[in-house]
Structure 1
Amino acid sequence: MDIFTQTTHLHITTWVIAVVLFLIAAFMQRDSKGRKILHMVLRLFYILIIITGLTLFIEWSSSDPMLYGIKFLLGVLAIGMMEMILVRSKKQKPVTMFWALFVLFLFATMFIGFMLPIGLNFF
């Protein structure tokens, strides 16, 4: 399990790829076959993000459990907003609120994640 918990590289790689795939899928034509395939691949990345995040949470949360718990919750909410945007836009329902929540949850998750002890130190 050391591959999952020594560094955050695998976790960061999975969520960066997922966000890129999400943005591509979100701006594709609504009823295209490519979007459907991309959405299924994106769901696989959701699972990978949760697995890598859960292993990091289990390994490192003893240092500050509340902050890690908040980050985990915000990450799951960001994934939920990504899924809501894709599903609701396919049904041609309004998604403006979900876009705003997605951006909010994504940046809050990244901010907390980078300031955690295992996160990256920019300053």
Structure 2
Amino acid sequence: MGFLTDSTHLHITTWVIALILFFIAATGITKSKAVHMVLRLFYILVLVSGGALFFQWRVNYEYDIKFLLGILLIGMMEMILVRQKKNKPAGLFWALFAIILFATLFYGLKLQMGFDLF
């Protein structure tokens, strides 16, 4: 499992692709169900790569917060897509998505395995 925990490249790649797929699905560029299904596959890949990093590098409570924020972010992404598909308002979920995305990126970059931006 060294390829999962040696660096954050795999994890970052999976969540960047997941975000791109999410915005494609959310904006309705394509009405295909395939984009949403591939996005769900990337949810799993993000969770597996993030979980491996979590269990390898967890040293304090900040990793627990980052893990929880990551799961909440995936939940918000799915809630937005499902509510839009059912033509229900998703404004609250978009706001929560933006806040949680910012907090997740902040924690991810701030932790030891993250980039030295802060």
Partner of 1:9: 9
Superposition misfits of 4+ residues, deviation over 2 angstroms = none
Structure 2 gaps, min length 5: none
Identity of aligned residues (%): 58
The reply to whether residue 41 of structure 1 matches residue 38 of structure 2 is yes
- Provide the C-alpha distance between the structure 2 equivalents of 1:39 and 1:9, rounded to a whole number of angstroms: 23
Tell me how far apart the structure 2 counterparts of residues 51 and 29 of structure 1 sit (CA, whole Å). Answer: 28
- TM-score if structure 2 supplies the norm length? 0.96
Tell me the residue number matched to 1:109: 104
Q: How many residues align?
A: 118
Aligned equivalent of 2:89, options 84, 89, 94: 94
In structure 1, C-alpha distance between the alignment counterparts of 2:105 and 2:82, rounded to whole Å: 24
Aligned to 1:82, the other structure's residue is in SS state helix
Instruction: After superposition, give the CA deviation of every residue in 1:92-111 in whole Å (9 maximum; x if it has no partner).
Output: 00000000001111110010
- Structure 2 letter corresponding to 1:40: M
String of CA shifts for 1:73-92, please: whole Å, max 9, x gaps.
00000000000000000000
Runs of at least 5 residues in structure 1 that lack an aligned partner in the other structure:
none
Q: Aligned letter for 2:5?
A: T
